[in-house]
Structure 1
Amino acid sequence: MDRINQHTAPVYEAMLELRKRRVVPFDVPGHKRGRGNPELVDFLGEKCVGVDVNSMKMLDNLSHPISVIKEAEELTADAFGAQHAFFMVHGTTSAVQAMVLSTVRAGEEILLPRNVHKSVINALVLCGGIPVYVPVRVNHQIGIATGMALSDVERAIRQHPQARPSLSIIRLTMALPLDLKGIVELAHQAGMKVLVDEAHGTHLYFGDNLPISGMAAGADLAAVSMHKSGGSLTQSSIMLCGKDVDAEYVQQIINLTQTTSASYLLISSLDLSRRNLALHGRESFEKVSSMAEYARAEINEIGGFYAYGRELIDGDSVFDFDVTKLSVFTQGIGMTGIEVYDMLRDEYDIQIEFGDIGNILAYISIGDRIRDIERLVGALEDIADRSAAADRKELYCGEFIAPELVMSPREAFYAQGEKLPLEKTVGRVAGEMLMCYPPGIPILTPGERITQEIPDYIEYAREKGCSLQGTQDPECREMRILTEI
């Protein structure tokens, strides 16, 4: 079968044509190509504000695409090896939620690793699905959850024979993927749909010697953050469908929550980024891999830091390694990841993706340069030298906490509750979510019972500078807990 011509960009080309026509706008947005807001034009530029337009005939409609958006989505599906692709303008959060909402109904089960993104839990609050958590393995050396082992997934499937569950798989941000193809085969044999969160996985579709992508592994649905490693504007993502997926039904689900006033800045950035990746992606991500490997080697020469790589592959919960991810364990220099994260930003003007209790993640992608890598390595070397002269304290190595699930997230979220200080919540059931962000993996979700280790971990994370979010209390010092349990 002949591939589609990937040199075209239908939405982008339609917007160029619109600009040539100099259409007089008596529609929204109200800034009227920027004339009503000169400061916005000064800030963003006339070209940008001039194409911030609303849906019209020549530009198609994201909620019901029939022309240029439809063509652009078909090009995207072809480039990513999918049966269908949807442009998403509410980020990968909305794509993840649409995946769950299109496969799970109230009272149905979905198998999950506990370390899913908060968007999955929020989708379960909306649809009333029941999470069944598959155990995740933990690497105690670096204090992170690695992933689900194939044997654990198989056991979970056997233990739920009466259910019609789906299986949601997280694409770990720390570069440690699981046996995706093996898990997909197991799930499909059991009649289950497989949903893959590939928020950090755009490059997997365009790189050699990288972990397998969701579509290549045979997944049913995948949510992909084009803006993370694909080059599109922040908040723009795509949702991919495999074979035997009712794409028309998925479109209806997407339309339940996605805006009817989609930004053409985001849509056109997806169109252009897809073209760039289809034509140049393999070359680009080969350079990204080389830069990340170079950085990994240089950081490991410093001493104290551990930039881990393929040596962590065990063929089980760590089935492969994403070499583009520069993940570094920091506690060898006596500092937590979040402390190194803060120092890099505040003292060296280097902004990395995130830091947690034990690690930092520097996101390397198509816009990075080797001199930026060298600046990061130099800053880490300086931080290590400074830490050697300081008194090192014994650090807590972040462990993965798996609380007991007492009731479904939806039941708990809408149940009657009361607010209590965190230290007084032990033994009670959470009615809301609490997490460190980034990356947004909940420490607690609605419906989970609180044990003493949870407030202890939260206070330690707070003391070290992690950003706590999720509770009604902006300071995250109180939590809504259920009164009926």
Structure 2
Amino acid sequence: MNKLLQSKMPIFEALEQYKASRTVPFDVPGHKRGQGNKELTDFLGEKCMSVDVNSMKPLDNLCHPVSVIKEAEALAADAFGAKHAFLMVGGTTSAVQAMVMSACKKGEKIIMPRNVHRSAINALVVCGAVPVYVNPGVNEALGIPLGMSYEDVERAIIENPDAKAVLVNNPTYYGVCSPLKKIVDLAHQHGLLVLVDEAHGTHFYFHDDLPISAMEAGADLAAVSMHKTGGSLTQSSFLLVQNDVNPGYVRQIINLTQTTSGSYLLMASLDISRKNLAINGKEIFDRVIELAQYARSEINEMGGYYAFGKEIIDGNACYDFDVTKLSIHTRDIGLAGIEVYDMLRDEYDIQIEFGDIGNILAILSVGDKDLAIERLIAALAEIKRLYAKDKSGMLNHEYVDPHVAMTPADAFYADKEQVPLRLSEGKICSEFVMCYPPGIPILAPGEYITPEIIDYIQYAKAKGCFMTGTEDPQIEKINIVQGNPY
């Protein structure tokens, strides 16, 4: 198959041509190329507002592409080694949900790690599929969940011969990868589809020294968060398809929930960023890897912190590690990750990706520079010097095994009542509870509320984690399923 010309940017080129035509707009959006909203135009700029346009024949239609968007999809598929690629403007959330709903119907089983992003469980609420959770491995020293072990996935497949698919994180938020190729081969031997959440793995496609990508491993569908490490605008992603998956059916699933007014700002950013990675990706990620390894070395040299890397690989639940992830364990200086996260932002004007109860994560990607890395290292050193304390009494784990009583859909739509969190022990949760980021549920609908979970939630709140998911914005009360004692 002939490689396509990756220097092309069909959506961007069509927008440039449209701007040059000076067409008079009597369509939506109502700001009419920025003329109707001066404050917004002053803020975003005339260049941006002039290409915030609606679908029309010269610009194609995201719901049913036949020209420039179709060409952009073909270029993306070529760049990522897929049979087909879809431009997603609802974030990787929409791509994950489209994957799940393409593979599973109501009542059908899907095998997945419990430390999935909420988007995957939300898909189960919407479509009524039944999760078969595989508890991830745990690194006891760091307290972090890992990936799924091959043996645990094999056991789940054997015990659930009617399952339709397996979902794998590649990588986790912390950079941990499961044995993806082995899981793909195993699942395919049993006739299951393999879906991969690659929200944090865009760069895997463009550098040989990084973990294997979903398409290279032979997976059937992958949700790729181009905006996270690929340089496109927030909320823009790709959904990749290969093997015998029918792209036409996947398109119909996407169109059930994705907007009919696709943003050309987001689509053009995917087009331009894809070109950049396809042509310059190796060089870009050479540099990112170099920066990350330097930062890891400097942070570990100062002591107290632990910026972990490939040494945590165990050949199974941590089969590989993404060295571009600057994941740092903070508990040994007596501070929760979220406390360091807050200090970096409030006192040093440094915004990292997230902090949880024992770790922080700094995302390094296409836009990072040496000076910024030095500033982060210096700030961490000063935080240690000024604020380090005894670590006794700190919670030492990030993952609580769930006890599942009902499917997410049954629990979410069940008759429910709201009770104080402290009185919810032994009840079945009817909503989500999670720290955001990363958006991995502590509790999902259908799970029993245990004393350990209540303690975890209270501890995370006390340390300053941003809690989301509950109807009660204060997370003082929680919705439970009526009439279901432990």
TM-score relative to the length of structure 2 = 0.98
Shift of 1:165: 2.1
Q: Which amino acid aligns with 1:464?
A: K
**Partners of 1:177 and 1:195 in 2: how far apart?**
14
Change (3 A) 1:392 1:414: closer
Number of residue-to-residue matches in the alignment: 483
Q: Which residue of 1 aligns with 2:468?
A: 469
Secondary structure in structure 1 of the residue aligned to 2:215 = coil
Q: Which residue of 1 aligns with 2:303?
A: 303
Per-residue deviation at 1:396? 1.0
Q: Alignment partner of 1:185: what SS?
A: helix
Q: Which runs of 4+ in 1 moved over 6 A?
A: none
Q: Give matches, 1:32-431, under 5 Å.
A: 32-161=32-161, 163-171=162-170, 172-388=172-388, 390=389, 392-431=391-430
Contact 2:333 2:390 in 1 (8 A): no
Check the 8 A contact 1:334/1:394 in 2, yes or no: no
2 CA distance for matches of 1:314 and 1:280? 32
- Cα deviation for residue 393 of structure 1 reads 4.2
Deviates more, 1:379-388 or 1:182-191: 379-388
CA contact (8 A) 2:358 2:398 kept: no
Q: Deviations over 1:277-335 (max 9, x none)?
A: 10001110110000000000000011100000110011011111111000000011110
In 1, the alpha carbon distance for the partners of 2:246 and 2:183 equals 22
CA shift at 1:342, angstroms?
A: 0.2
User: Is the 1:302–1:384 Cα contact (8 Å) retained in structure 2?
Assistant: no
Q: Counterpart amino acid of 1:217?
A: A
Q: What letter is aligned with 2:100?
A: V
Q: Which amino acid aligns with 1:427?
A: G
Shift of the alpha carbon at 1:177? 0.4
For residues 474-485 of structure 1, the aligned pairs below 5 Å read 474-485=473-484
- Provide the rounded CA distance (Å) in 1 between the counterparts of 2:397 and 2:387: 20
Taking the aligned partners of 1:105 and 1:260, their CA distance within structure 2 comes to 23
Residue 484 of structure 1: how far off its partner (Å): 2.9
The alpha carbon displacement at 1:394 in A equals 2.9
Q: What displacement does 1:391 show?
A: 5.5
Partner letter of residue 323 of structure 1?
V
Residues 182-206 of structure 1 show CA distances to partners (whole Å, capped at 9, x for unaligned) of 0000000000000000000100000
User: 1:180 & 1:102 partners in 2: Cα distance?
Assistant: 20
Residues 375-399 of structure 1, C-alpha deviations (whole Å, 9 max, x = no match): 00000000111124x5654311124
Could you tell me which residue of structure 2 aligns to residue 15 of structure 1?
15
Structure 2 distance, partners of 1:164, 1:289, is 38
**Partners of 2:331 and 2:391 within 8 A in 1:** no
| Counterpart Cα distance in 2 of 1:246 and 1:484 | 43
Distance in 1 (alpha carbons) for counterparts of 2:200 and 2:390: 37
Deviation, 1:2, is 2.0
1:456 aligns with 455
Asked whether the 8 Å contact 2:434–2:469 carries over to 1, the reply is yes
Report the Cα distance in structure 2 between the residues aligned to 1:414 and 1:387, rounded to whole angstroms. Answer: 46
Instruction: Find the aligned partners of 1:409 and 1:391 in 2 and give their Cα distance.
Output: 40
RMSD: 0.8
Residues 402-422 of structure 1, C-alpha deviations (whole Å, 9 max, x = no match): 221111111111100100000
Give the corresponding residue for 2:30. Answer: 30
Q: In the alignment, residue 446 of structure 1 is paired with which amino acid?
A: P
Q: Report sequence identity in percent.
A: 60
SS at match of 2:266: helix
Q: Distance in 1 between matches of 2:264 and 2:380?
A: 40
How far residue 135 of structure 1 moved from its aligned partner, in angstroms, is 2.4
- The aligned amino acid for 2:369 is R
Q: Which amino acid aligns with 1:185?
A: D
Contact 2:167 2:197 in 1 (8 A): yes
Contact 1:107 1:129 in 2 (8 A): yes
Scaled by the length of structure 1, the TM-score of the pair is 0.99
Aligned-partner SS, 2:48? helix
Query: Partners in 1 of 2:391 and 2:191 — Cα distance?
Result: 53
Deviation at 1:235, TM superposition (A): 0.3
- For the residue of structure 2 that corresponds to 1:419, the secondary structure is strand
- Matched residue SS, 1:281: helix
Q: Does the 8 A contact of 1:140 with 1:399 survive in 2? A: no
1:102 counterpart SS class: helix
* Aligned amino acid, residue 420 of structure 2: P
Give, in whole Å, the separation in 2 of the partners of 1:391 and 1:408. Answer: 42
Extract unaligned runs of 5+ from structure 2: none
| Cα distance between partner residues in 2 of 1:179 and 1:436 | 27
Secondary structure, aligned partner of 2:54: coil
SS in structure 2 at match of 1:215: helix
Query: Would the alpha carbon gap of residues 391 and 311 (structure 1) be closer, same or farther in structure 2, given more than 3 Å must change?
Result: closer
Aligned mates of 1:474, 1:58 — CA distance in 2: 45
Contact 1:208 1:286 in 2 (8 A): no
CA drift of 1:155 comes to: 1.0
The AA in structure 2 aligned to 1:413 is F
CA distance in 1, matches of 2:164, 2:9: 38
Q: Matched residue of 2:442: which SS?
A: strand
The letter of the residue matching 1:205 is: Y
In 2, Cα distance between the equivalents of 1:430 and 1:399? 19
CA distance in 1, matches of 2:353, 2:482: 38
Please list the CA deviations of residues 216-254 of structure 1 after superposition, one character each: whole Å capped at 9, or x if unmatched: 000000000000000000000010001111000000000
Q: Which residue of 1 aligns with 2:438?
A: 439
1:327 alignment partner AA: S
Q: Distance in 2 between matches of 1:208 and 1:291?
A: 17
What do the CA deviations read for 1:16-72 (whole angstroms, capped 9, x no partner)? 000100000000000001110011110000010011000011000000000000000
CA distance in 1, matches of 2:210, 2:169: 17
Equivalent-residue separation in structure 2 for 1:399 and 1:289 (angstroms): 26
2:75 aligned counterpart, secondary structure? helix
